[in-house]
Amino acid sequence: MIRKMCVEDLDVVLKLEQQLFSSCWTYDMFYQEITSNEFAQLFVYEVEGEIIGYYGLWVLYEQAQITTIGIKPSFQGKGFSKVLMDDLIQKAIDVECEFISLEVRISNFKAIQLYKNYGFEIVNIRKNYYQDNYEDAYLMVKAIGGLS
């Protein structure tokens, strides 16, 4: 089940975040997104009552941006990331976004391949994007239609 993230989920989400990323979001960053950012939509993915994944979107008029996405390591490679991707793309379509964008480390080959499989294209490089090691990021974009 995918549902809206709430403040009570943050301890679990933060543990996942620390397992998954070297440049992690903090409690305060997630808290701000949930409670104060009118453009933010955050969701958790539960399997048998356990949070195994999550994602965040900013919906800014005709554009959606994936702000974060992650699946618990023991659940990776089993199709769960596809469930998250399908859900977030559908949410962007439902609010008539024209495209979805994201940034991804240029060394994250598995994620890049997943995004390419979903029709995302590399459109630019963000130099020194990641603060932990100044690695570059690819800006990837997928057109999804928008208003007819």
Q: Could you give the residue numbers annotated as active site?
A: 103, 115
Half-sphere exposure of 55 (CA within 13 A, CB side): 23
Q: 3-state secondary structure string, 46-94?
A: EECCEEEEEEEEEEECCEEEEEEEEECHHHCCCCHHHHHHHHHHHHHHH
* β-pairing verdict for 63-71 and 99-105: parallel
Residue type, 63: Q
Structure tokens at 94: 């439902």
